Amino acid sequence: MKARVTVMLKAGVLDVQGEAVRHALGTLGFEGVNGVRQGKVIELDLADQDNADEAVKTMCEKLLANTVIESYRVEIL
C-alpha cells in the first residue's frame, strides 16, 4: 500500500523559496504569476494496511512535517 503526504507552509508564513521561484519565472518571461508556494511531496510504501491513515498522520506529527509552520495532507493510494 502506498501513501502520499503533501506538506506546505501554512498561510501567513513567508515562503522565501516560493518567492524566489516567482521572481525567477518573471525574469524568464513568464508574466502573470502573482504568487508561488513551494512544498514537498513524500511517498511512503507501507507494508501494513491496518490503520495506515492514522500511522501516516502520526509520522507527520513526529517527523515529516513541522506542524508549527507547516500543514500536511495524507492520501492513501
The pLDDT tens digits for 3-62 are 999 999 999 999 999 999 999 999 999 999 999 999 999 999 999 888 899 999 999 999
Backbone angles phi and psi of 38, in degrees to 5:
-110, 140
What confidence score (pLDDT) does residue 31 get?
A: 93
Ramachandran category for residue 52: left, alpha or beta (phi over 0 → left; psi -120 to 50 → alpha): alpha
Domain with 17 in it: 2-76
Q: For residue 64, what pLDDT band results from cuts at 50, 70 and 90?
A: very high
User: Which among 72, 71, 73, 75 has a CA at the least distance from the CA of 12?
Assistant: 71
What confidence score (pLDDT) does residue 43 get?
A: 98
Q: Is the dihedral of CA 60, 61, 63, 69 positive or negative?
A: positive
How many domains is the chain built from?
1
Question: What's 28's domain CATH number?
Answer: 3.30.1280.10
Q: Where are the alpha helices (DSSP H) in the chain?
A: 16-27, 52-59
